[in-house]
Amino acid sequence: EPEVTQTPSHQVTQMGQEVILRCVPISNHLYFYWYRQILGQKVEFLVSFYNNEISEKSEIFDDQFSVERPDGSNFTLKIRSTKLEDSAMYFCASSDGRDTPYEQYFGPGTRLTVT
Amino acid sequence: RKEVEQDPGPFNVPEGATVAFNCTYSNSASQSFFWYRQDCRKEPKLLMSVYSSGNEDGRFTAQLNRASQYISLLIRDSKLSDSATYLCVVSSGGYQKVTFGIGTKLQVIP
């Protein structure tokens, strides 16, 4: 069964550093998403991406965040200057966008720890 | 009012019991509805989409009441493996953002 993959599984970084989280969505999917989940809190939408551009973003997704699809398979989330409060689990998801409802399938997540 | 509201629980039920979770949402224009399950420190996994007519998948039944802006999930004959957090998810439509509830924790006890 096809699945979304994410790397790394755990990233530790110092405050102020840049991090790039990587995702490989399911191969025939057209819509891609990033979410975050702070420990003990709910899953929060960050951004959706379609046809090489952002289709929607939340208020969390400020100028320090960016997304990119550098090639036909990878989908990345960059955090330019990490803060302590960016420590969370980051999930990538994808959906095929062909049949409603647009069911999203999640990757295993990257645990980001900012020290 | 929260966009998606759930009772966080925990619900502790014996094996074999029937348990029901409810969820309310605030945006009347919401178009798509889902239940996901999440195991501790794992990703959300799609359990089922929720259709207006209600739908069933084995031991799981989901219902949607648009008038009351209310979604439910019924689990019959609970198994130990059903222990997880059940997330109510509401979408404004299409590929747009989805909003998650805080989740309801279920613990099935032997």
Give residue-wise pLDDT tens across range B19-30: 999 999 999 888
Nearest residue in B to A6, CA atom: B43
> Are the Cβ atoms of A101 and B33 closer than 8 angstroms?
yes
Confidence bin at B2 (pLDDT 50/70/90):
confident
- Report chain A residues whose CB lies below 8 A from the CB of B33: 101
Q: Where are the beta strands (DSSP E) in A51-115?
A: 53-57, 65-68, 75-79, 88-95, 105-106, 110-114
State the average pLDDT over residues B25-45: 93
pLDDT at B94 exceeding the cut of 60 = no
Q: B43-49 — which CB contacts under 8 Å span 24+ positions?
A: B43/A91, B43/A106, B43/A107, B43/A108, B43/A109, B44/A43, B44/A91, B44/A106, B44/B87, B44/B89, B44/B100, B45/A106, B46/A103, B46/A104, B46/A105, B47/B73, B47/B86, B49/A101, B49/A103
Residue A107 in contact with partner chain B when CB distance is under 8 A? yes
Q: Mark yes or no for CB contact B95/A48 under 8 Å.
A: yes
Using DSSP, state whether B80 is helix, strand or coil: helix
CB pairs under 8 A between A and B: 57
Could you give the CA distance from residue A104 to residue B90 in angstroms, rounded to a whole number? 12
Q: B70: left (phi > 0), else alpha (psi -120 to 50), else beta?
A: beta
Q: Which residue of B has its CA nearest to A4?
A: B43
User: Quick one: pLDDT at residue B29?
Assistant: 87
Question: CB distance from A108 to chain B under 8 Å?
Answer: yes
Q: Look at residues A92, A74, A83 and name the one whose alpha carbon lies nearest to residue A36.
A: A92
| B101 at interface of A, judged by CB pairs closer than 8 A | yes
Q: What whole-number distance in Å separates Cα of residue A114 and Cα of residue B65?
A: 42
What is the pLDDT at residue A98? Answer: 74
Shortest Cα–Cα distance, B42 to chain A (Å): 6
Given a cut of 60, whether residue A109 has pLDDT beyond it is yes
Ranges A15-19, A72-76, A104-108, B16-20: which has the least confidence? A72-76
Specify the pLDDT at position B95: 61
Q: Which range has the worst mean pLDDT, A34-38, A98-102, B55-59? A: A98-102
The average confidence (pLDDT) of chain B is 93
Encode pLDDT of A50-88 as tens digits.
989 999 999 999 999 999 998 878 999 999 999 999 999
Contact predicate A77/A45, CB 8 Å: no
Spatial neighbors of A70 by CB under 8 A, at least 6 apart, are A76
- Is B9 an interface residue toward A (CB < 8 Å)? no
